[in-house]
Amino acid sequence: MDAAITEGVKITVLTQFRPDISNIVNQNFFFNYRVQIENNNPMSIQLLTRDWYVFDSLNDPNYISGEGVVGEQPIIQPSESFTYISGCELHSEIGFMRGFYTFMNLETNKKFRVYIPLFKLIYPPRLN
């Protein structure tokens, strides 16, 4: 599990290799990642956008940017959290992801960045 705190927002990421939908022979390695976003601020915040850097050890890096996460732009109240699960496919056994979310402080309407900690995506037999 990887975690980071920026601007009072804690991001925790847990990854899981998915052998059921991966195809090792064809170099398709699928991973799920579960992200928990905790608002430790005294004000409500809204997640507006996401920006990802995806590193695949045998391929060019990939940059992903878009609105919200999993089709939502959640509002997170003080002392509450939002959790979602998404996925990533690599074409090598080793990679990682990192990035940031852009949030809005709903009291001041000011935007701010929250960094997503780097998390590794490693095909489990590669660890031996």
Indicate the number of domains in the chain. Answer: 1
- The arithmetic mean of pLDDT across residues 70-76, rounded, is 97
Q: For position 119, what pLDDT does the model report?
A: 97
- Show the domain range for 94: 2-127
Q: Which residues have C-beta within 8 Å of that of residue 71, sequence separation ≥ 6? A: none
Q: In the predicted model, is pLDDT for residue 126 greater than 90? A: no
**Domain CATH code at residue 55:** 2.60.40.1470
**Cα–Cα distance measured from residue 34 to residue 32, given in angstroms and rounded to the nearest whole number:** 7
| % of the chain surpassing 70 pLDDT | 99
Write down the pTM of the prediction.
0.93
